Every structure is written in structure tokens, then in C-alpha cells.
């Protein structure tokens, strides 16, 4: 299954990143094991560059406002910004120069450099490429609440594939733009540069 979705086609920096050791894993395998993966990466961090407490590592150049909630395991990279009211939980790895505005919740996700979540966004169990921008209120869903069978399925080259997991949001390529109040349904694969218009629904499920 992993060979069906080469992650580097969506996120160019993936192979050379700290996550490169998992380059052969399926995206949903990464997010399902995010806590273990982040814990493994925590053990490799240069202690002098990070403030570390309760499995939360914050780079010394990052800015975290009072009122933000950071739950481990978590790695927050250089020059990131986390606003008051943001909530990061469930095992997250965040690359450099990322921003999380007020009311943003991110769960069990891997976020690459320069991506920005404006405010009042939810992103669950997802891989987010570099330079991705989420306007206010856009959501990446991770659970098929409306279905009896909760297993997430994806389409690869138009063909259906089962993931074996009940929670997976999306693989979002570099430079993707989600307009305000747009919704991405579970199991989406967004090619680099995709633009989703404001208030749009993207549902690639079956």
C-alpha cells in the first residue's frame, strides 16, 4: 500500500526531513502512530536548541502566547508562532516558520515549513506540506461520523483503497490553499498547489 502513494510527490521535503526514516510508510500509518514517531524524534533533538518539558519541545526561537495549550508528545520548530487559544495535541511534529492562530486545533499531524493556519481551523490526523495556507474556519476532518463503517478509504488514481484505520484526515501537498470555511472530508489526497474555494466541500470518499 505504501508504494501507491509516494509522499515526496506531495511534500518535496519529506525524504530529507527528520521524518525521512518513515518515507515508505502510508500517510495514515504515520498519523496513526504519530505519538510514537514524535517520541522517537524527541530523543534526537539538540537539547540546547529546545525548551523541553512533559514531552513538549519548543524551539527557543518560537513564540507561544499565554493561553495556548500544547500537549505532548510535540515538537515545535524554529520561528513558529502559536497564538492564545490554539490547541496542539495527540502527537504533532511542526517544522520551521509555521503559524497557528487563535482557536486552531491540530491533532496527530505533521506540518512542514512555512504553513499557516489562520484561526478557528481544525486539522486532524494529517500530513501538511510546506507553504500551505488555511483561511479562517477551514477544516480537515478525520472521522466518518456519517457512515456505519467508519474505516477511512482513499482514491488513488481513481481506484478505491482501504486504509484499515478509522481516523485519517488528508495528505495535503506543498502550496495548497484552503479558502475560508472550506471543508476537506476524511481520506483526501490534495496535489501540490491545489486551491479549494471558500465554503467548498472536497469529499473524495466512496
Residues acting as catalytic residues: 119
- Cell triple for residue 106? 491540530
Q: Residue 76 and residue 61: Cα distance in Å, rounded?
A: 10
User: Of 121, 64, 58, which is closest to residue 94 (Cα–Cα)?
Assistant: 58
User: Of 36, 20, 3, which is closest to residue 95 (Cα–Cα)?
Assistant: 20
Amino acid at each position: 500500500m505504501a508504494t501507491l502513494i509516494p509522499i515526496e510527490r506531495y511534500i518535496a521535503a519529506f525524504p530529507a526531513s527528520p521524518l525521512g526514516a518513515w518515507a515508505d510508510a502510508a500517510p495514515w500509518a504515520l498519523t496513526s502512530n504519530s505519538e510514537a514517531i514524535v517520541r522517537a524524534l524527541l530523543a534526537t533533538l539538540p537539547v540546547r536548541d529546545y525548551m523541553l518539558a512533559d514531552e513538549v519541545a519548543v524551539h527557543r526561537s518560537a513564540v507561544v502566547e499565554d493561553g495556548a495549550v500544547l500537549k505532548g508528545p510535540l515538537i515545535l520548530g524554529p520561528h513558529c508562532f502559536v497564538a492564545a487559544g490554539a490547541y496542539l495535541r495527540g502527537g504533532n511534529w511542526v517544522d520551521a516558520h509555521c503559524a497557528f492562530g487563535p482557536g486552531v486545533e491540530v491533532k496527530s499531524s505533521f506540518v512542514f515549513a512555512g504553513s499557516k493556519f489562520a484561526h478557528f481551523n481544525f486539522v486532524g490526523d494529517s500530513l501538511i506540506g510546506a507553504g500551505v495556507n488555511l483561511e479562517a474556519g477551514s477544516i480537515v476532518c478525520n472521522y466518518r461520523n456519517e457512515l456505519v463503517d467508519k474505516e477511512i478509504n482513499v482514491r488513488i488514481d481513481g481506484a478505491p483503497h482501504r486504509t484499515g484505520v478509522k481516523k485519517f484526515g488528508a495528505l495535503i501537498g506543498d502550496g495548497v490553499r484552503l479558502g475560508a470555511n472550506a471543508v476537506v472530508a476524511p481520506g483526501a489526497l490534495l496535489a501540490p498547489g491545489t486551491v479549494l474555494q471558500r465554503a467548498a466541500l472536497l469529499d473524495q470518499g466512496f
